[in-house]
C-alpha cells in the first residue's frame, strides 16, 4: 500500500497490477496529493467506501452530516489551503445535494473534484432507485463533468478532473462513476497526471505589447486607482502584487474575495469596494483617470449602475479569463494572462511614484466615514452590543492572524469591512452566490486545510440554522473551530432592505432561534451566551483560549443597519453614509 508521501513514480514502478476501479480512484487521489476527503456514503458509492476502509492511514475521510455540508467543507479546505478540495457523495439525492456548493464554487472560482456514485451502467435511463441525471443537472454549475461507465476510463478521467479543477481560472469538476465501474477490475499500468488537454488553454498567451500600453497609461495617470480581486490570491501573486503597488504608489481597494492579498494595514490599502464598501473607494471610482482592475470581474455588487460606472476613466484589466474582459466594463487595454506572470512585466515598465495629493483624497473620505459610521459601529455608546464592536474586539485578540469564515448577511458585510487580515487566504466567504449556511461547514474544512492557524466562523442566527447539523461533524472529528453567532433575532439583511425600501414592512424576517449553547452542549461542544458589553472581551478570550471547538452566541442590537450602502440601481458615487 502506498503512503501519501510516495510520489507518482512509485505508482508506475509497482505496476502493472489488477485492481478495482474503486481502489484505483483512491490511488489517483493520493497521486494528486489529496490528504483529506469530505463525504457521506450511500448505496451507489459503497464500493469506493469499501476500498477506503483499507486506506485509513493514507486518506483522512471526514464524515459530514449532509452532502451540502460536505461540499462547503471542501470549499473551505480549498480556499484556506490552496489545494483542490475533494468530496464524495452517492447517487440521486446525495449528488443533487452538492448542486448549491457546485454553483457557489463555480462563481467563486474554487477548485473542487466531486466524485459521485451512480447506478449500474445497464440501469442508466430506467429511473432506477436513486438514479438522477447528475451530468445534465450539473453541467451549468461545473467547469467540467464526466460520467465513467467502465473502470478503464477512470485514470484518464480523474487526471483530467484535477488538471481542469486547479489550472487557469479554478473551478469545480464532477466525476460520476457507475457502480459497475467501481467494482470492475482492470489491468492498471500507471497513473499519469494530466498536464495538457487539446483545445483547453488554461491561461492565455501574454502579449507584451499590451503590457507596454498598460504601463504607458499608468505612467501618465494623475489619479490612478487599483481594484483587486481573488485572482491575485488564486494566482499566488501576492508578492508580485505588493511590488507593483509599492512601486506605483497607487491606492488599491479590494473585492471581498480579494481581501488579505494585501495586509489590511498596508498604507496603500484603502478598503473595500462595492455595495457596503468604504466611502472613498466607491466615490473616487468615478473620479480616477486610470482604473487598473487585477483579477476581478466587475461584479454588479462592485459596480452599481454600469452606465454610470467610471465613465471618465481609461481601464486596464488584468485577468486570466478572457471572457471577463469587456463582459461588464469596456476595457481600454486588456492584459490577458496569469497575474503572477503579467504583474512583474508591468512592474518593470512603470515609474516609481507616490501620488500624495490623490491619496490624500482617500484619507479625507475615510475621515468622513469614521465620523459618520465607523466610530459608532466599533465603539458604540448605546447599551446594546453592535456586530462591529464584536469584530473590533476579535481583532485585538487575534491581531489579524486568524482565518475568518463568514456566512451571508449583515454579519458578513460587517466582518469583511472590519476584520483585520495580515495574511492571504484569511477571508473565506460565499461571494458571488451568497449562500446562507456556508460558514459552519466551510470553517470545518478550513481548519482541516490549515490546522496550524486559528479558524473563527462568524455566522448569523439565520445562516447557522441552515447547516447546524454539522456540529455533529465537529463532535465526531474533534476539529477545533471557534464559532461566533451574531444574533439579532432577524434575517438582518432582508430586514434592512425592507426598512429602507419597503416602508418597514417586515414580512417574515423575524426568526426564532433555539438555545444555541444548549444545542452545542448536546454535541459535546462548550459554549456561552453574551449580551452585556462588560462580558464581551473576556468571553472572546475564553473562546479563543479554549482547547477545542467553542460556540459563543452574542446578542446584538436588533435593527442596526450596515452603512455605507450603495442602493441597488444606483451609481457607486450615490453611496449613502446613513
**CATH number, residue 252:** 3.40.50.1220
Same domain, yes or no, for 41 and 146?
Answer: yes
Tell me, yes or no, whether 1 lies in a domain. Answer: no
Same domain, yes or no, for 90 and 44?
Answer: yes
Nine-digit cell string for 265: 494595514
Nine-digit cell string for 440: 459552519
Same domain, yes or no, for 129 and 215?
Answer: no
Same domain, yes or no, for 397 and 545?
Answer: yes
Look at residues 128, 159, 188 and tell me which one is the last residue of a structural domain: 188
Tell me, yes or no, whether 533 lies in a domain. Answer: yes
Look at residues 124, 155, 188 and tell me which one is the last residue of a structural domain: 188
Average pLDDT over residues 220-242: 98
Tell me, yes or no, whether 357 lies in a domain. Answer: yes
Same domain, yes or no, for 400 and 527?
Answer: yes
Q: Which helix (H) or strand (E) holds 154?
A: helix 154-166
Tell me, yes or no, whether 216 lies in a domain. Answer: yes
**Under 8 Å between Cβ of 228 and 241:** yes
Tell me, yes or no, whether 371 lies in a domain. Answer: no
CA geometry: angle at 13 spanning 7 and 14, to 5°? 100
Cα–Cα separations (whole angstroms), residue 83 to 57, 329, 445: 20, 31, 12
| In the predicted structure, residue 517 carries a pLDDT above the cut 90 | yes
Domain housing 411: 383-555
| In the predicted structure, residue 225 carries a pLDDT above the cut 70 | yes
Q: pTM of the full predicted structure?
A: 0.95
Tens digits of per-residue pLDDT, 396-428? 999 999 999 999 999 999 999 999 999 999 999
The CATH number covering residue 502 comes to: 3.40.50.970
Average pLDDT over residues 353-379: 97
Same domain, yes or no, for 472 and 388?
Answer: yes
Same domain, yes or no, for 403 and 546?
Answer: yes
DSSP assignment letter at 203: S
Q: What is the pLDDT of residue 5?
A: 44
Q: How confident is the model at residue 578 (pLDDT cuts 50, 70, 90)?
A: confident
Quickly list H helices, 381-462.
Answer: 387-398, 410-418, 439-449
Helix, strand, coil percentages in the chain from 3-state DSSP, rounded to 5: 45, 20, 40
Tens digits of per-residue pLDDT, 163-217? 999 999 999 999 999 999 999 999 988 899 999 999 999 999 999 999 999 999 9
Q: How confident is the model at residue 6 (pLDDT cuts 50, 70, 90)?
A: very low
Q: What percent of the chain has pLDDT over 90?
A: 96
Same domain, yes or no, for 470 and 533?
Answer: yes
Cα–Cα separations (whole angstroms), residue 453 to 81, 478, 512: 11, 16, 33
Q: What's the distance, CA 200 to chain centroid? A: 25
Tell me, yes or no, whether 283 lies in a domain. Answer: yes
Same domain, yes or no, for 184 and 219?
Answer: no
Q: At what angle do helices 67-81 and 99-107 cross, to 10 degrees?
A: 20
Tell me, yes or no, whether 574 lies in a domain. Answer: no
Tell me, yes or no, whether 400 lies in a domain. Answer: yes
**Count of domains forming the chain:** 3
362-399 b/e (C-beta count within 10 Å ≥ 16 → b): beebbeebeeebbebbbebeeeebbbbbbbbbbbeebe
Q: Cite the active site residues.
A: 67, 129-130, 179, 493
Cα–Cα separations (whole angstroms), residue 36 to 83, 233, 447, 449, 560: 10, 22, 11, 8, 40
Q: How confident is the model at residue 13 (pLDDT cuts 50, 70, 90)?
A: low
Same domain, yes or no, for 318 and 408?
Answer: no
**Under 8 Å between Cβ of 233 and 108:** no
Same domain, yes or no, for 150 and 219?
Answer: no
Same domain, yes or no, for 218 and 176?
Answer: no
Tens digits of per-residue pLDDT, 76-117? 999 999 999 999 999 999 999 999 999 999 999 999 999 999
Beta strand residue intervals within 224-375, DSSP E: 224-228, 252-254, 269-272, 290-294, 314-319, 333-336
Beta-carbon contacts of residue 371 (< 8 Å; ≥ 6 apart): none
**Under 8 Å between Cβ of 72 and 101:** yes
Amino acid at each position: 500500500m502506498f503512503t501519501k508521501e510516495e510520489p507518482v513514480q512509485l505508482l508506475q514502478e509497482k505496476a502493472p497490477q489488477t485492481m478495482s476501479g474503486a481502489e484505483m480512484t483512491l490511488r489517483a487521489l493520493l497521486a494528486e496529493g489529496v490528504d483529506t476527503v469530505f463525504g457521506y456514503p450511500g448505496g451507489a458509492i459503497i464500493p469506493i467506501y469499501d476500498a477506503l476502509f483499507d486506506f485509513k492511514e493514507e486518506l483522512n475521510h471526514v464524515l459530514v452530516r449532509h452532502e451540502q455540508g460536505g461540499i462547503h467543507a471542501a470549499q473551505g479546505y480549498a480556499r484556506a489551503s490552496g489545494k483542490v478540495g475533494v468530496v464524495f457523495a452517492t447517487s440521486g439525492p446525495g449528488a443533487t445535494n452538492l448542486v448549491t456548493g457546485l454553483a457557489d464554487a463555480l462563481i467563486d472560482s474554487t477548485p473542487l473534484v466531486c466524485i459521485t456514485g451512480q447506478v449500474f451502467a445497464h440501469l442508466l435511463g430506467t429511473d432506477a432507485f436513486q438514479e438522477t441525471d447528475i451530468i445534465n443537472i450539473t453541467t451549468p454549475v461545473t467547469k467540467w463533468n464526466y460520467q465513467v461507465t467502465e473502470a478503464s476510463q477512470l485514470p484518464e478521467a480523474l487526471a483530467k478532473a484535477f488538471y481542469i479543477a486547479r489550472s487557469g481560472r479554478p473551478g469545480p469538476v464532477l466525476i460520476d462513476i457507475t457502480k459497475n465501474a467501481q467494482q470492475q477490475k482492470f489491468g492498471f499500468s500507471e497513473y499519469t497526471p494530466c498536464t495538457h488537454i487539446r483545445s483547453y488553454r488554461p491561461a492565455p498567451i501574454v502579449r507584451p505589447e499590451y503590457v507596454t500600453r498598460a504601463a504607458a497609461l499608468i505612467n501618465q495617470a494623475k489619479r490612478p486607482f487599483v481594484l483587486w480581486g481573488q485572482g491575485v490570491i488564486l494566482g499566488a501573486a501576492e508578492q508580485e502584487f505588493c511590488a507593483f503597488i509599492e512601486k506605483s504608489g497607487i491606492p488599491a481597494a479590494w473585492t471581498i474575495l480579494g481581501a488579505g492579498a494585501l495586509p489590511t494595514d498596508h498604507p496603500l490599502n484603502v478598503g473595500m469596494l462595492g455595495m457596503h464598501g468604504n466611502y472613498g473607494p466607491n466615490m473616487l471610482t468615478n473620479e480616477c483617470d486610470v482604473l487598473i482592475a487585477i483579477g476581478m470581474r466587475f461584479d454588479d455588487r462592485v459596480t452599481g449602475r454600469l452606465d454610470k460606472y467610471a465613465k471618465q476613466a481609461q481601464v486596464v484589466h488584468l485577468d486570466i479569463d478572457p471572457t471577463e474582459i469587456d463582459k461588464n466594463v469596456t476595457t481600454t487595454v486588456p492584459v490577458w494572462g496569469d497575474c503572477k506572470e503579467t504583474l512583474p512585466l508591468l512592474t518593470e515598465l512603470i515609474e516609481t511614484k507616490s501620488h500624495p495629493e490623490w491619496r490624500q483624497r482617500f484619507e479625507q473620505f475615510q475621515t468622513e466615514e469614521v465620523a459618520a459610521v465607523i466610530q459608532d459601529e466599533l465603539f458604540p455608546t448605546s447599551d446594546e452590543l453592535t456586530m462591529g464592536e464584536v469584530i473590533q474586539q476579535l481583532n485585538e485578540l487575534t491581531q489579524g492572524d486568524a482565518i475568518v469564515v463568514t456566512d451571508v448577511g449583515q454579519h458578513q458585510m460587517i466582518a469583511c469591512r472590519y476584520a483585520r487580515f495580515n495574511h492571504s487566504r484569511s477571508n473565506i466567504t460565499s461571494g458571488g452566490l451568497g449562500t446562507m449556511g456556508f460558514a459552519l461547514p466551510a470553517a470545518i474544512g478550513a481548519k482541516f486545510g490549515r490546522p496550524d492557524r486559528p479558524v473563527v466562523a462568524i455566522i448569523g442566527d439565520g445562516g447557522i440554522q441552515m447547516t447546524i447539523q454539522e456540529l455533529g461533524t465537529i463532535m465526531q472529528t474533534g476539529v477545533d473551530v471557534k464559532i461566533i453567532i451574531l444574533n439579532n433575532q432577524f434575517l438582518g439583511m432582508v430586514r434592512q432592505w425592507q426598512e429602507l425600501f419597503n416602508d418597514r414592512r417586515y414580512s417574515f424576517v423575524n426568526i426564532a432561534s433555539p438555545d444555541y449553547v444548549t444545542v452545542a452542549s448536546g454535541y459535546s461542544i462548550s459554549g456561552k451566551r453574551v449580551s452585556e458589553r462588560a462580558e464581551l472581551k473576556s468571553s472572546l478570550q475564553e473562546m479563543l483560549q479554549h482547547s477545542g471547538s467553542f460556540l459563543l452566541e452574542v446578542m446584538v442590537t436588533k435593527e442596526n443597519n450596515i452603512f455605507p450602502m450603495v442602493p441597488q440601481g444606483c451609481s457607486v458615487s450615490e453611496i449613502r453614509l446613513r
